[in-house]
């Protein structure tokens, strides 16, 4: 028997999932971030992920004050993705060092 869970009804679908689910909402800044993210993944530098995440969060504040909400919201999401990826890489490195 298959169970169907309506994640949107349960409130689990986050704003980033909703952005991905919409059609025709990919902008040039999204493409540039994906390229930037892939380059950072290739380098595997944990500090660069954390620093870029903090920088993106820092850069979003002036955009909010100038009422440029779309780009500021995206910068918040990009910063979140970079910070989470950096933390995950750090945790994997710690687990790897503990197992040795």
Residues 50 and 84: beta-carbon distance below 8 Å: no
For the whole model, what pTM was predicted?
0.70
37-76 pLDDT tens trace = 999 999 988 999 999 999 999 999 888 888 888 888 899 9
């Amino acid at each position: 028997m298959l169970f169907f869970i309506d994640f949107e009804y349960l409130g689990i679908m986050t704003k980033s999932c909703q952005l991905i689910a919409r059609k025709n909402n990919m902008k040039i800044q999204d493409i540039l971030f994906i390229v930037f993210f892939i380059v950072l993944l290739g380098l595997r530098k944990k500090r660069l992920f954390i620093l870029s995440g903090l920088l993106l969060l820092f850069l979003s504040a002036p955009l909010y004050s100038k009422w440029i909400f779309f780009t500021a919201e995206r910068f918040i999401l990009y910063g979140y993705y970079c910070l989470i990826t950096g933390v995950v890489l750090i945790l994997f490195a710690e687990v790897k060092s503990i197992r040795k």
